[in-house]
Every structure is written in C-alpha cells, then in structure tokens.
Amino acid sequence: MTDGPLIVQSDKTLLLEVDHEQAEAARREIAPFAELERAPEHIHTYRLTPLGLWNARAAGHDAEGVIDTLLRYSRYAVPHALLVDIADTMDKYGRLKLIDDPVNGLVMVSNNLSVLEEVLRAKRTAGMFGKRIDDLTIVVHPSERGHLKQALLKVGWPAEDLAGYVDGEAHEIDLAEDGWTLRDYQRQAAEGFWHGGSGVVVLPCGAGKTLVGAAAMAMAKATTLILVTSSVSAQQWRDELIRRTSLTDEEIGEYSGARKEVRPVTIATYQVLTSRRKGVYPHLDLFDTRDWGLIIYDEVHLLPAPVFRFTADLQARRRLGLTATLVREDGNETEVFSLIGPKRYDAPWREIESQGYIAPADCVEVRVSLPDSDRLAYATAEQQDRYRLAATAKEKVPVVKQLIAAHPDEPTLVIGQYLDQLADLAEELNCPVITGETKLKERQSLYDQFRRGELPVLLVSKVANFSIDLPDASVAIQVSGSFGSRQEEAQRLGRILRPKQDGRTAHFYTIVVRDTVDAEFAANRQRFLAEQGYPYRILDAEDL
Amino acid sequence: MRSLADDLRRRDDEELSEFIRQRADAVNPIPADMSELASQASAAASVRYAIEKLAGPELRVLIALAVADQPASADVVLVPVEQQAELLRIVQRLWAIGLVWGPRPEDATSEVHVVTAARDAIGAQPELPATEVAGIDLSLRPITTSELPLANTLDGQGGQHALAAVTSLSTLAEHWSQHPPTSLKSGGLAVRDVNAVSELLGTDELTAAFWIEVAAEAGLVGPEDAASAKYAPTVYYDTWRLSDPGQQWAPVAAAWLRLDRDIDSVSGQTGDRLSVLAEQPGQAWRRELRSATLQLLSEVEPGQICEFPDLLEHLAERRPRARRDRLEVVCQSTLRESDLLGITARGAITALGRALVEPTVREEQLALTATAILPPVAEEFVAQADLTLVVPGPPSPALRRLLSLVADVESTGGAAVYRVTADSAARALGSGLSPADLIAELNTRSATPLPQPLEYMINDAARRHGGVRVGTTASWISSDDESVIAQLLSDPQAARLGLTRLAPSVIASTAPAEELMTLAASAGHIPTVVGADGESVPLSRPVHRSPDPARKDQPGVDDIFVVALTSALRRSELEEPAGVAIAAPRELPRMPTAATAQVLRRAQTQQVPVWVGYADNAGSMTRRLVDVVATDGGAISAFDHSHGRIRTLVLSRITGAVLAADIASADMDPVGTQDGSNSD
C-alpha cells in the first residue's frame, strides 16, 4: 500500500485526487489508457474501458506497464481480478492484424487459429472477407476495412491496422508563424495526432482547434478535405487558414449549398454532404473526387450518420476529428473512436484555463418562479408542451434585463431555443436577433458590429451554437436550450471562454423556472459543467 | 489399566478437555459419565472419523502399532534416528485423541493399546501385511511452491476483499430489511430470491448463495418468525453494522470456519439442487477439511504459492483416509470462498488468513488484528460541485449511515462515491432531519466546504417537501397549491383512480392510497403521508428485523462447553452419588421458562452449581443441584449432584432455578428431603 493519489474502484473507475503531489505524474501516466470521465474540483474520475486499453496497446503501451502504473500510484491494493482483466483485455489486441500484402492486397492475419475461426463465424463480419489464403490469413475486401474494424471491435477482437495510409496528392502547406506561435498544447495535440496516424483531438471551445487542424495540414503537406457544420464556420476556417498558413485564397475551395468548388484544400459542410435526392447522397462523391491526404472533421461529435457510414470506407486516409466534447447525445462515441480513430489528445478545460489560454468563467443558474396563474397552465398542460411553457416563461425577461444591466460594458450574448421568445426579447431589449433565417450577409454584418462593440447585446438562436466565433463576448445568458443537451452547454460556454484582454472573468448565466422540467434539464447541464471543472452557483431571481 | 475408560479417568483436566475438543463427535449425545464417553469414543463410526483426520505419518504410525502385538510401544515402529522425537510426538498425539490408550506415553518404551475399532478399521486393508511395516518415514513431502508475483500486494488485496465482503453482507442485509424473502414450504429460499441477491451484489448465483449462507451462519440474518417464514436481518445485525470493518469481518470469518453446509449444490451445477438456507444434515467433514486446507496454506512460505493440483496432493498426504472427492470439493471451495473473504488472495494465504488459522485465536483478538491490517476507516468525505460525495477510503459506520441516508451509492471499491439527488435529499428530510441539521451534519463531515448547489438542493427539497399530502385512511389528496390539484385531475391515470375534486385543494379517490402516492410521484411531486391526527408521518419505509437465532450447538468448538463437560465428567467419577446427603433449599420459586433459561445460561457461563425444581417422570416435584454442561433448545444437559452423573433435563419441566450461591444457608433444609429417584 502506497500513499498514492489514485484509488481504483471495483466498477473500473479510477479516482484521482488532484491536490495530491503526485497527481500530475499519475495523470500523465494513466491518460494513455484511461478515459477522463469527469473533472470536478477535487477528485477526477477516469474509466478503464476495453477500447481505451486497446487504444493504449495501439499506441505501444503493454499490459505490464499499465498494471505497473496502477500499482505504483494506487493508494489501496488493486483487486487482482481487475489486473487480470486488464491483462486479458489488452492481450486480445493484435491477435488479428490488417496488413497490406504485396500479392493479395488487404489481408487479415491472425496468430491464433481459434480466434480467426471465431471471427470468421461471427454474424457481424459476414460478407467482409474474400478468399482464405492459408489457415491464418484471409483476404479482406478493401472497401470493408472500416466496417470490419468496427465489427471486430464489437466481437471483442480488435484488429491492429498496419495497412498504413495513402499519402494522398502532395500539396505544399506551411504554418505562417509571423508574430504568433503555436501554443504548447496545440503542438502536442497535432503531434499526438500525427504519430497516431488518425484520431480525435478534444480541446475546449476557444482553445484554438482550428490551429491544431492547420498544424496537422502543415505536417501532412497534402490535399485536405475539411468538413464543418455550417457555412459561417466554413468562412471562418477559410479566413483562419489564409491568415495562419501559406495557403492563398485560390487554393481553398468551398463546397456548400451556394458554391461547389473543389480545390487542393476544400471546406465542405455536413449539410451539403448529407443532402439527399431521390434516396441517394449525390455529394458524398466529394470524398472520391480527389486523392485526399487528410480529412478533418470539425465538431466531430455532430458527425451525421451518412458521413459515419462513408467514413468507414476511408480507412486508408488520415483522419483528424476535432471537438470540444466527445459526449454524443446519441451515445455513439464508440463509433467515433472506431471510425475516426482513438482520442489522441485531451486536456481538462480547467488546465488550459489555468495556463491563461481560456478565460475563467463564473457559472450561475438563476431560478425564477411562475406566478400562480402560469403554474396552473403549466400543471395542466400536455407533457410535450411543458418544457416550452416553462422555458419561455415571461418571468425570465426582467431577469435578462437585470443581468444585462449588471454587466454594462461587456458584450453580451442572449441565447435561446424558441424564436418567438427571442422575438419578444428583441422587442423588450431593443436589439437584433440572429436566427436560422437571417441572411448570411446580415449575419456577418451583425457579427462584425458586435465584434467592434457597436452592438452591446446580441440575441442568437441555436444556429449560433456551433463554430461561430465572437471574440469578445464575455457574458452569455441562456434563456432556453434543447432539453438538457450537454454538448450544447459545452458549446455555449465555449462562446465566452476566449481570454479577455483585461483578464476578466466571463459570466455564464442560465435562467430556469423552478419546479418545472426546465429546472430538471438544467440540472443535467449543470452536472456536465461541474464535471468539466466549472463549479456553479444557484441563485433565486429575487436575490440577484 | 484395562480400557480407554480407565485411561480417560486418569487423565488430568487439560488432557481430558483436549480429548473432548478433538473428538467432538464422541460427546454428541452428551455422555452421562466416563464409561459412556469411552464407549462413544470407541464406536466404529467415531473412530473411523478420527482416523480420517490423521495425517500421513500419523496414520503410518497407527498402522504400525495396530499390526503389532498389543500392547505395543513406539519401539516396534522403525524410523530413522533423527525422527525418534517426532515418532514419540505422534504416539502422544494418537494417545491424546484416544486412538490408543494406556498410561500417557513418556518415551519409546511406553506401551499403549490401539483401540479395537481402530485395529478393525485398519485391518480392513489387506494390502498392509505386518511384515511390511518394518521401516517407515515420518516426514511429509516438502510443499511444492513457486514464486508469487507481486507478493507485496497480497495482504492489501486481501484487505480489499475483506472490505468488499463486509460491504456485500451489509448490502444483502439492508436489502432484506426492505424486501424480506419468504422461505419455501419445503424450507430454504426460492431460486428467484437467490437470483435477486446475485443481481444486487453483481455476482454469480453460487457466490450469492455463499453470502446468504455466511450471513445466516454469522447470525446477521435469520427467520423473522415462524408464522411468516420470512428472512430478515437480526437484532444482532444492528450492532454489527455499526462496528468498524475489522470488527465486522472477524465474526464473519469465524462463521465461515464453522460452516458445515453444502453450498456447492445450491447452484444446481453438481448433482441435486439444494435450496439455499434449507435444512440439510451437517457435513462436519467440510469444516474439518477446510481447516486442514487453511492450515496447509498457512505452511506455505510467504511470497510463495502452492498451485491447486499440488495443494490437493499435499492435502491428500495430510488426510490419506479422507475421500478423494471430498478433498477436491473442499479444497476448491475453500480457495474460492476464502478469496471472497480476503483470507486468501490469488490462492495464497494473506495476513488476515494467517491470523485466522492461529489455533488459539479468539474473535476479539481476530477483530483487533483485522482492524490493524485493513485500511483505516475514513471519517470525512470530499464534496464536489457535481453533487458527488467521495469518501477516500472505507467509510466509518457513522459516515456510511449518514451518506446512505442523503445520497445514493455510485461506486465502491477502495473509496466510496455517493451522489446526492433531489430524491435522496428528500429521503433524508423524510427521515425527520431538518434541512439546517442535515447541512450542519454534512458540514462537520466534509473535508471541503459544501458546494453551494448542494445546500441549495437540500433547502429546495425542504421547500417542496410536504407540498403534497396524501391520506391513507380515506384515500385523498390535498394540496395548498390548486394548480397541483388541477394537474393531478388532468393526469391520464385520474379516470382509473376515480378521482373527484372535493374542494379547490382536495381530491378524493376510490383507489387505495398507495396508488395515489404513485400518481403524485409520477407527476413530479414529493408527497407526504398524513396520519389520522393530521400530522405528517415520516416517509421511511418499514424495516424488518428477525430475532437473533440461537447459536447452533457446536460441541467441541465452544470453550465453555468443553470446560463444563470436563468438570462434570470428572465429578461423575470422583463423587459418590450424594443422594440424601445434600442439603436442599426449602423452597424454590416458580419461574417462567424464559427466566429459568436465563439463570441456567448464567450458571453455565459462570460454571457455578444451580438449584432447579424439576418435575420427574412420575410427576413428583424434586429439587436438584446441577452443574449445567450445555443448553440446547428445549433441554439442558447437566451434572446432577444427587445422581453423580450427567443427565438431560427437559426445560419445560423445570419449575425454577436459583444459583446455589444465591441461597442463604438459613433457607436450606439441614438434611436433603428431595427425591433421589432415577425415574427420569
């Protein structure tokens, strides 16, 4: 028994006491094989999963090292069954290998006949194999490389993919580090990705994920396809790439609803890729139009299902996923890992904040009460109407006004889910609204005014959830959201985390109606914030 | 000296006690005097059982002695010179357990007789003619071991298992206090109930059955009462659960050592399926071979491990006459079960296990040792903004009680993680704590300041708590909040429950009150139950408790019994039947049976004589001075001074009992007038 910072639980979670003197060392050593699950103020929780252990194997860690790390840092004895389980799980990795055979093309090789037979008989792998070359070798249809890897993960015999990546069409790209440099964590993230070949980088909003993408492109020096969530986001990627790299305007193409340019670096929206005509996806061909050397998935947690499926066919190309949170409300995180690649870099938000790269934030939930008449209406409403009734309560308006008044010189975003609520607020506050229907030009112009400080308050619908870049927002007021979505909460918090010139604290307010589903959903989101290390307070509106 | 009985008569108290301890089966039923003890100990079955417990060298010596002309001395056994001392030790041991008799063997020339039944039992082996017994080897093969990897973590792992064991048993008992399972008509638990436990504890069926059996043996759970045939935690459990983990572990480990039940068959994997907790004939060989296995494990050098096949071979060498299938079954189940209890880990004995196999260890000492080995209990928790409370170690009983009241367990292991939810906060308030008290209590226990949202949540729950009141007598709902009434009335379930609005704030229902509770809860309220006086009744659910089961009679295990029996047997030899010579008290009070039993138990534990009034078979009242040897259910075994032998007295026929010391000499008849008949 040591006096270490780590406590191993029987449900395979690891508790790390962050104030312990060895905590940092322990964190570095367990990060390769354990998933950070939550990071509140005192004790972080990591989880051991088969996928995490296999990823560690893929990255060159062996079971002995993993067990040694656990024993070295664990405060109490580690149950032997757990150690055996770790060794067994890690031992399953690499029994099957995908390699590029000079004669037969893509083949799967096993060092164990019974494992191979088990896999061949599994229902999930049906139709993915070609002819059997010998006892331990079988041809794999190249188009099934991704699907097979997914299927093998599910049957518990993950394959080591040694078939390598195609280099793609070369294209000179360099970072233009004039007057700025890549931050340490950005460089580590890009290098982590490059050494791993493919994978996901998790960084908080405002921590400069675009630059990690640019750095990866400068490493690949090849034609690149960038998939983003909206055309505004596409515009920002384009601006950022022109400013930060050697790329010129002519080298970057936009593939969206409005324009269909395919250039050495092409930025496409998920929306256009997944638009369907007569049951087919006409634009998915984009993946094949050029010999891409790198594919970047921005906001990978939003990756739509058709792109998922197509990505399975792209296993020979390097893939980089960027996101602030790997939480998917549909629970498909595993799919992301198996198709894009394992998590290559992850840092708790609070750590990047403590390095001064993102602003500290003060999160407050403000609770308002419904007047009796509205309570009655709420109580008798149909289940499905209740959230809307509560979320759009009129009582929130004076609170919004009060909060805006409390931060007079700070750019403030008011974010809501319901358009009529936003319209009402716009009237009350006398400021503009951006919704999905706002024209792109008008949107850009409003953003610019907001940036220049001419507009102190901007109302935005959920279109602003993703990839908009408002450098100086320092107060966000959330009046309604989509049913306790945790990823939305992460994105919205990210809106205000850009470091402020004067180092001041950002404020993140959520207004909820007590004793309604609104408060229940809020609790869900608050828990997520707390798990990211952002403690919050709850205030009654009367106490503001 | 003519017989084993003669020999036994001449043994001193210590030797006699040792004999009783080693030959526990020979004192069941309790013998009336030395002759009966000797005859029971010479019976074929008892002797065969004693031989089964012999190790290889002991058996070889016994055979050598048995085939020689009687009486024989150790000289007839040819052993290497350096084993002479060992040979004498073995002969002495054979004498101690009464397989040979005669004067206590002091050297190689002391002559002893092999008990006839033993000669018969051994003579049944034709392959051992006398001539081949010329030279024998008394040494045991050295234990085959290999190095145990990560040996330094062994005791820690054992400690973790011990903690997990204690947690499993508490979880089981807590579950049964809310949901006591009903026993089958044929006795024991239904498979369904065992499966529920295995799901609760996250284990397989066999392990679940093991925990249930151990909990019952340790007296933590038992039948609630004969009428309902439900199993629930005992009154003893309430003391146990408040103890430190070490104190909790010791009685559990001791109970496991006592277990003589077949648990392997409850999963139905081997042979006929037995019901968990059902009546079954005791299988003392399980207990004996389990001890032998543990003893063997404790002989393995620390840092080494003896793998199962070798372990079994060594065990066979130590119990050559035991049935092979039994050795295998016990050896396997011992390794599996001791691992669950932290007595072994990875097949090697832990510090806890070594403490347990100490031959003279008492439960209190064992608890102290365990407490020293187990990680220290934590008295504080760390509260975090995500509303988790983390105890960085095994929580102390008081802390565990507080946390299980206000929070739900999220994970266990080295630490305990709890999460506070609106429901759990409401539950804590429902138990009668005020929000201020609850927050104060949490604050004193928290190593870090309580996060603001946690306090807010508790106060918020208090605000909502009692917002809805449900009546149980008339089945009605009332709320000061009319919108709630409206909401409930508009609920789709309302029609089925026959809700009618009696007043703006009251609804009546034709359905039972329980259904109304569900309705209100599913609509998101926290209802309170209102009693007949209009005051709210705490929401805590009824908790089931069973009376403590009588400890099963364990002859030979209990020190008090051994001492009492030794002294009673001694008296049966020394004292002439005193009969009329004893002065008896003039009067004995008539007492209820329970009070009588209490006096008798005190007489037994304190080892003092007691006067009893007894109705004999003829119906006449007698007064007898007795030394209580054992109490078992409806009868006691006691040395009767007037008869000079041990007798069984039926409890229901004892009219009263007074300790002899409590009777003033003035109250005594000068000369006994009590009946001295032998009519019972």
More confident residue, A532 or B164: B164
| b/e per residue B440-461 (b: at least 16 CB within 10 A) | eebeebbeeeebebbbbbbbbb
| b/e per residue B276-308 (b: at least 16 CB within 10 A) | bbeebeebebbbbbbbbbbebbbbbeeeebbee
Q: Cβ atoms within 10 A of the Cβ of B491, count? A: 19
The fraction of chain A above a pLDDT of 70, given in percent, is 95
Minimal C-alpha gap between B403 and chain A (Å): 18
For chain A, the maximum distance between any two Cα atoms, rounded to a whole number of angstroms, is 78
| Contact yes or no for A9 and B412 at CB 8 A | yes
The fraction of chain A above a pLDDT of 90, given in percent, is 28
**Look-up of token digits 């570095």:** A28
Minimal C-alpha gap between B398 and chain A (Å): 21
| Contact yes or no for B413 and A9 at CB 8 A | yes
Alpha-carbon distance of B481 to B491, in angstroms, equals 16
pLDDT of A204 reads 77
Predicted confidence (pLDDT) at residue A521 exceeds the cutoff of 70: yes
pLDDT of B666 reads 61
Per-residue pLDDT reduced to its tens digit, A219-259: 999 999 999 887 778 888 998 999 999 999 999 999 888 78
Q: Cβ atoms within 10 A of the Cβ of B602, count? A: 14
Minimal C-alpha gap between B504 and chain A (Å): 13
Q: What is the band of B673 on the pLDDT scale with cuts at 50, 70, 90?
A: very low
The residue ranges of DSSP E strands in B14-96, in sequence order, are 72-73
The fraction of chain B above a pLDDT of 90, given in percent, is 25
Window from A100-114, A292-306, B262-276 with minimum mean pLDDT: B262-276
- 3-class secondary-structure state, position B55: coil
The residue ranges of DSSP E strands in A405-522, in sequence order, are 412-415, 433-434, 457-460, 475-478, 506-513
Pick B386's closest partner by Cβ from A13, A38, A380.
Answer: A38
Considering only CB atoms, which chain A residues are within 8 Å of B384?
40-43, 530
pLDDT of A490 reads 73
Strand partners, B650: B635
Best mutation target, A3, A6, A9, A537, to test chain B (most B CBs within 10 A)? A9
| Contact yes or no for B346 and A13 at CB 8 A | no
Considering only CB atoms, which chain B residues are within 8 Å of A378?
483
**Could you tell me the CA-to-CA distances from A264 to A171, A289, A318, B34, B530 in Å, in that order?**
7, 11, 16, 106, 75
Predicted confidence (pLDDT) at residue B501 exceeds the cutoff of 80: no
pLDDT of B576 reads 60
More confident residue, A42 or B553: A42
Per-residue pLDDT reduced to its tens digit, A55-86: 888 878 899 999 999 999 999 988 888 899 99
Alpha-carbon distance of B426 to B143, in angstroms, equals 59
Structure tokens of B185? Answer: 């008509």
Q: What is the band of B70 on the pLDDT scale with cuts at 50, 70, 90?
A: confident
Minimal C-alpha gap between A80 and chain B (Å): 7
Alpha-carbon distance of B163 to B377, in angstroms, equals 10
Pick A76's closest partner by Cβ from B160, B417, B451.
Answer: B160
Taking each helix axis from N to C end, the angle separating B44-52 and B34-42, rounded to the nearest 10 degrees, works out to 70
A14-28, B552-566, B582-596, range with greatest mean pLDDT: A14-28
- Chains A and B: how many Cβ contacts under 8 Å? 120
Q: Are A8 and A81 in contact (CB under 8 A)?
A: no
Considering only CB atoms, which chain A residues are within 8 Å of B382?
42-43
Best mutation target, A489, A520, A538, to test chain B (most B CBs within 10 A)? A538
Structure tokens of B482? Answer: 């009319």
User: CA torsion B225→B228→B233→B235, rounded to 10°?
Assistant: -30
| Contact yes or no for B390 and A15 at CB 8 A | yes
Alpha-carbon distance of B468 to B459, in angstroms, equals 17
Residues contacting B274, CB < 8 A, separation 6+: B188, B262, B265, B266, B280
Predicted confidence (pLDDT) at residue A187 exceeds the cutoff of 60: yes
Window from A479-493, A518-532, B345-359 with minimum mean pLDDT: A479-493
Window from A531-540, B8-17, B116-125, B378-387 with minimum mean pLDDT: B116-125
| Contact yes or no for B451 and A535 at CB 8 A | yes
Per-residue pLDDT reduced to its tens digit, A281-315: 888 778 778 889 999 999 887 788 778 777 777 77
More confident residue, B137 or A418: A418
Taking each helix axis from N to C end, the angle separating A486-494 and A517-531, rounded to the nearest 10 degrees, works out to 60
Q: Looking at residues B130-157, what average pLDDT do you find?
A: 78
Report which residue type is found at A486: R
Minimal C-alpha gap between B336 and chain A (Å): 13
| b/e per residue B57-82 (b: at least 16 CB within 10 A) | bbbbbbbbbbbbeeebbbebbebeee
Alpha-carbon distance of B278 to B274, in angstroms, equals 7
Minimal C-alpha gap between B330 and chain A (Å): 22
- From chain A, which residues contact B within 8 Å (Cβ)? 1, 7-11, 13, 15, 17, 38, 40-43, 45, 71, 74-80, 365, 372, 375-376, 378-380, 514-515, 523, 526-527, 530-531, 534-538
Q: Looking at residues A185-196, what average pLDDT do you find?
A: 88
pLDDT of B672 reads 44
Per-residue pLDDT reduced to its tens digit, B574-586: 756 554 456 677 7
| Contact yes or no for B452 and A538 at CB 8 A | yes
Q: Looking at residues B43-57, what average pLDDT do you find?
A: 89
| Contact yes or no for B417 and A531 at CB 8 A | no
pLDDT of B442 reads 94
Q: What is the band of B166 on the pLDDT scale with cuts at 50, 70, 90?
A: very high
By C-alpha distance, the chain A residue nearest B452 is A537
A487-501, B65-79, B137-151, B442-456, range with greatest mean pLDDT: B442-456
pLDDT of B583 reads 66
Considering only CB atoms, which chain B residues are within 8 Å of A40?
384-386, 388
- 3-class secondary-structure state, position B123: helix
Predicted confidence (pLDDT) at residue B503 exceeds the cutoff of 60: yes
| Contact yes or no for B464 and A8 at CB 8 A | no
Q: Are A509 and A534 in contact (CB under 8 A)?
A: no
Predicted confidence (pLDDT) at residue B471 exceeds the cutoff of 60: no
Q: Are B207 and B201 in contact (CB under 8 A)?
A: yes
Q: Looking at residues B68-87, what average pLDDT do you find?
A: 83
Q: Looking at residues A473-485, what average pLDDT do you find?
A: 83
Pick B375's closest partner by Cβ from A43, A76, A530.
Answer: A76
pLDDT of A464 reads 67
Q: Are B348 and B296 in contact (CB under 8 A)?
A: no
Backbone angles phi, psi at B626, to 5 degrees: -130, 155
Q: What is the band of B133 on the pLDDT scale with cuts at 50, 70, 90?
A: low
pLDDT of B125 reads 55
| Contact yes or no for A530 and B384 at CB 8 A | yes
Considering only CB atoms, which chain A residues are within 8 Å of B156?
1, 76-77
Pick A9's closest partner by Cβ from B150, B414, B453.
Answer: B414
Pick A10's closest partner by Cβ from B385, B392, B413.
Answer: B413
Predicted confidence (pLDDT) at residue B322 exceeds the cutoff of 70: yes
Window from A71-75, A185-189, B549-553 with minimum mean pLDDT: B549-553
Q: Cβ atoms within 10 A of the Cβ of B407, count? A: 24
Considering only CB atoms, which chain B residues are within 8 Å of A11?
411-413
pLDDT of B675 reads 46
Q: What is the band of B674 on the pLDDT scale with cuts at 50, 70, 90?
A: very low
CA angle in degrees (0–180, nearest 5) for A134-A138-A141: 155
Residues contacting A442, CB < 8 A, separation 6+: none
What's the start-to-end Cα distance of chain A, in Å? 50
- 3-class secondary-structure state, position B78: strand
**Could you tell me the CA-to-CA distances from A351 to A185, A256, A342, A396, A501 in Å, in that order?**
10, 36, 22, 34, 19
Considering only CB atoms, which chain B residues are within 8 Å of A527?
386-387
Strand partners, A106: A100
Predicted confidence (pLDDT) at residue B485 exceeds the cutoff of 90: no
Report which residue type is found at B564: A
| Contact yes or no for A11 and B413 at CB 8 A | yes
Structure tokens of A376? Answer: 């009655």
| Contact yes or no for B483 and A372 at CB 8 A | yes
pLDDT of B380 reads 94
Average pLDDT, chain A: 85
A171-175, A282-286, B651-655, range with greatest mean pLDDT: A171-175
**Look-up of token digits 């102390």:** B396
Cα–chain center distance at A116: 35
- The H-assigned helical ranges of A438-485 are 440-452
By C-alpha distance, the chain B residue nearest A520 is B422
Considering only CB atoms, which chain A residues are within 8 Å of B456?
538
* pTM reported for the whole predicted model: 0.74
Predicted confidence (pLDDT) at residue B539 exceeds the cutoff of 90: no
Q: Looking at residues A112-131, what average pLDDT do you find?
A: 88
Residue A274 half-sphere exposure toward CB, CA atoms < 13 A: 17
Q: What is the band of B668 on the pLDDT scale with cuts at 50, 70, 90?
A: low
Q: What is the band of B266 on the pLDDT scale with cuts at 50, 70, 90?
A: confident
By C-alpha distance, the chain B residue nearest A379 is B487
Residues contacting B513, CB < 8 A, separation 6+: B470, B471, B472, B473, B475, B529
Window from B58-72, B557-571, B649-663 with minimum mean pLDDT: B557-571
H or E segment to which residue B442 belongs: helix B435-445
Q: Looking at residues A407-422, what average pLDDT do you find?
A: 89
| Contact yes or no for B411 and A13 at CB 8 A | yes
Predicted confidence (pLDDT) at residue B132 exceeds the cutoff of 60: no
Average pLDDT, chain B: 83
Q: Looking at residues B432-461, what average pLDDT do you find?
A: 91
More confident residue, B668 or B497: B497
Q: Looking at residues A321-340, what average pLDDT do you find?
A: 74
Structure tokens of B652? Answer: 């229901």
Q: What is the ipTM of this complex?
A: 0.82
Structure tokens of A530? Answer: 């707390």
Alpha-carbon distance of B397 to B445, in angstroms, equals 13
Q: Looking at residues A325-349, what average pLDDT do you find?
A: 73
**Look-up of token digits 């675009």:** A210
Q: What is the band of B131 on the pLDDT scale with cuts at 50, 70, 90?
A: very low
Q: What is the band of A137 on the pLDDT scale with cuts at 50, 70, 90?
A: very high
Window from A65-69, A477-481, B105-109, B171-175 with minimum mean pLDDT: B105-109
Q: SS3 string of A362-380?
A: EEEEEEECCCHHHHHHHHH
Strand partners, B614: B622, B654
Q: What is the band of B676 on the pLDDT scale with cuts at 50, 70, 90?
A: very low
Predicted confidence (pLDDT) at residue B19 exceeds the cutoff of 80: yes
Per-residue pLDDT reduced to its tens digit, B612-636: 888 877 878 888 888 888 877 678 8
